[in-house]
Amino acid sequence: MFVCGPTVYDYSHIGHARTYIAFDMIAKYLRYLGYEVFYLQNITDIDDKIIDRAKSENKDPLGLAKEFQEKYMEDMENLGITSVTKYAPATEYIKQIVDQVKRLKEKNIAYLIPDEGYYFDLKRFPDYGKLSGRTVEDAEDAVSRIDESTLKRNKGDFALWKFSRPEDEARSEGTAKPSEPSWQSELGAGRPGWHIEDTAITEKEFDSPQYEIHGGSRDLIFPHHEAEIAQMESLSGKKPFVKLWMHTGFLTLNGQKMSKSLGNFITIRDLLKDQSPEAVRFMVLSTHYRSPIDFNDNLMNQAEAAVMRLREFVLNLEKADGKADLPTSQADEEKKSDYTNFFETHRKSIFEALDDDFNAPIAIAELFNLIREFNAPLHSGLISKTVANQVLDLLKEINGIFGFIPEKSIPLPDEIQNLVDLRETARNEKKFAEADELRKQILTKGYKIDDTPYGPLVRK
C-alpha cells in the first residue's frame, strides 16, 4: 500500500491528519485480519513550494525541507500514527527517477524542451483520464501543479525532469549556494518533477511496476494520480498499475475551504494544544474515509465527550467484581446469558462494518450501542467478571485499530462530578429548570458543560 505523503514546506495541517489517520486505521485493520502489509509513504522534499519558501526566508531548500519533515514525523507520532512501514523522501531516489525518465525517453514518450527539461507526451498515452474521467485541466484543481510552458506539445503535458537554470549552474560551480537544488545526471543538471517521484519510489521499494492499494486525498486524483498511471503503465506495458485506488474526502472548516489567506488554517500541533490525540482520531474516524468532514468546535466537543465516555466504560469494566457469576435467581441467570449474547451480536456487527469498505462510523455506532446495553447492568453488578473481561478484550482489539481510547483520564473533583450526575438525572426526568440551575452551579465553580450525543463534556 502506497499513500501520497506531504510536501514538507510548512507545518502539517488538520487536512493531513484526516488522510493519514484514515489510512493508519486501514493499514492496522488489514494487519488485524492477517494480511502482511508493506505501507509505504513518500515525502516530497523537493518542489517549487519548498524552493519558493526557502527563497523568501533566505534558507537552503533542502535544509528547510528536512526541518519540516522532522516536524511532520513528530505530528504523526503525536497522533498515534504508527502503521507506516517506510517513509521515502524523494531526494533519496534521484537515481531511480532519472532511470524512469530515461526509459520514457527511449520509448519516445518523454520529449525534450531545450533549456527547460523533459516532459511527458500525453498523446502517447490514450488512457489518460481513466481514473478521474477527465482529460483536461480545469481551474478548480487546488493542487494540480501543472507545469506551464509555451513549448509543450499538449496542454496537460507535465514535467518529468526540470533543468537547472543557468544562474543555478554557475553558482553551483562557485562558492555560493545555488538558489535551487540540482543533481547532475545523464539527462542534464536538474531536479525531478512532482509526479515522477512516486512511481520511481514504488517501483524500487515494491520491486514491481504493479501493486495492490494506492491512497491519498481526493484532490490528488487529477492530475497527480492520472500522471502516475500514465508513467508506470507506459514504462511497464502492464495494466492496471494499481488494483485499488482509495481517496479520502475533503476537510473544510465551518463550511469553508481551509486557507491561510482566510485565517482558518489549523496546524496539527496547534490543534493538539487544546484537544487530545484520541479525540482527533475519533473525530476523523467517526466520518467514513471517503466522505467530507466539516471541522468545527461542536464536532471536537462531541469527540472529546466520546473518548471520555470510552475511558469511563473501561474503568467500570475493570471494577466488575465477579459477584454476578453467582446467580441469585433464575431471572438473573437469564439476564447474564442475555449480556453474553448482546456482546457477541455487537462484536459481530462492529467487524462486519469494518469489512464493508472500512466503515468506521457504523463500527463506532455499534460500539456505543454495546456501551448503552452494558452501562446500567454494569453499575448494578449484573455483569460478571468473565463477560467484563470479554468486553475489555474487544475494546483492546478495537483500540489496536482505531487508537482512540485514552489510557489515562483526568477525573473531575467529587463535588463537580456529583453535580454533573444530578444534572443528568434531572435531564433524563425532563426536569429542565432543575438541570439549568445545576448547570449554573457547575459554571460558578469554574467548569463549563457541553451536551453532546455521547453525554456531557465537562471541562475547566
260-297 pLDDT tens trace: 667 788 999 999 999 999 999 999 999 999 999 999 99
pLDDT at 146: 62
Q: Are 307 and 404 in contact (CB under 8 A)?
A: yes
Backbone φ and ψ for 24, nearest 5 degrees, come out as: -60, -45
- Residue 332 confidence (pLDDT) above 70: no
Which region among 88-92, 177-181, 221-225, 238-242 has the lowest average model confidence (pLDDT)? Answer: 177-181
Mean pLDDT computed over every residue of the chain: 89
Half-sphere exposure (CA, 13 Å, Cβ side) for 30? 17
> How far apart (Å, rounded) are the C-alpha atoms in residues 402 and 282?
8
The whole-number average pLDDT for the span 95-117 is 97
**Residue 408 carries which side chain, given as an amino acid letter?**
K
pLDDT at 341: 77
> How far apart (Å, rounded) are the C-alpha atoms in residues 88 and 198?
9
Residues 6+ apart with CB under 8 A from 138: none
pLDDT at 206: 98
Identify the residue with better confidence: 171 or 35.
35
- Residue 143 confidence (pLDDT) above 80: no
The whole-number average pLDDT for the span 415-440 is 89
Let me know if 272 is exposed, middle or buried by CB neighbors in 10 A (0-12, 13-18, 19+).
Answer: middle
pLDDT at 460: 82
- Per-residue confidence band for 330, with pLDDT thresholds at 50, 70 and 90: very low
pLDDT at 31: 98
> How far apart (Å, rounded) are the C-alpha atoms in residues 164 and 148?
16
- Residue 357 confidence (pLDDT) above 50: yes
pLDDT at 378: 83
Residues 6+ apart with CB under 8 A from 413: none
pLDDT at 453: 77
pLDDT at 373: 86
Residues 6+ apart with CB under 8 A from 303: 275, 279, 280, 282, 283, 286
| Grid coordinates of 298 | 461542536
> How far apart (Å, rounded) are the C-alpha atoms in residues 194 and 90?
9
Let me know if 140 is exposed, middle or buried by CB neighbors in 10 A (0-12, 13-18, 19+).
Answer: exposed
Other Cβ atoms within 10 Å of 458 Cβ, number = 18
Give the C-alpha distances (Å, rounded to integers) separating 13 from 52, 101, 221, 269.
Answer: 19, 32, 20, 8
Residues 6+ apart with CB under 8 A from 351: 363
123-138 pLDDT tens trace: 999 999 999 998 665 4
- Residue 139 confidence (pLDDT) above 70: no
235-246 pLDDT tens trace: 999 999 999 999
The whole-number average pLDDT for the span 7-26 is 97
> How far apart (Å, rounded) are the C-alpha atoms in residues 144 and 154?
16
- Residue 385 confidence (pLDDT) above 90: no
- Residue 326 confidence (pLDDT) above 60: no
| Grid coordinates of 435 | 438541570
Which region among 32-41, 161-170, 224-233, 377-386 has the lowest average model confidence (pLDDT)? Answer: 161-170
Q: Are 106 and 59 in contact (CB under 8 A)?
A: no
- Per-residue confidence band for 333, with pLDDT thresholds at 50, 70 and 90: low
Give the C-alpha distances (Å, rounded to integers) separating 381 from 309, 316, 327, 424.
Answer: 19, 10, 11, 21
SS in 3 state form for the chain? CEECCCECCCCCEHHHHHHHHHHHHHHHHHHHCCCCCCCEEEEECCCHHHHHHHHHCCCCHHHHHHHHHHHHHHHHHHCCCCCCCEEEEHHHHHHHHHHHHHHHHHCCCEEEECCCEEEECHHHCCCCCCCCCCCCCCCCCCCCCCCCCCCCCCCCCCEEEEECCHHHHHHHHCCCCCCCCCECCCCCCEEECCCHHHHHHHHHHHCCCCEEEEEEEHHHHHHHHHHHHHHHHHHHCCCCCEEEEEEECCEEECCEECCCCCCCCCEHHHHHHHCCHHHHHHHHHCCCCCCCEEECHHHHHHHHHHHHHHHHHHHHHHCCCCHHHCCCCHHHHHHHHHHHHHHHHHHHHHHHHHHCCCCHHHHHHHHHHHHHHHHHHHHCCCCCHHHHHHHHHHHHHHHHHHCCCCCCCCCCCHHHHHHHHHHHHHHHCCCHHHHHHHHHHHHHCCCEEEEECCEEEEEC
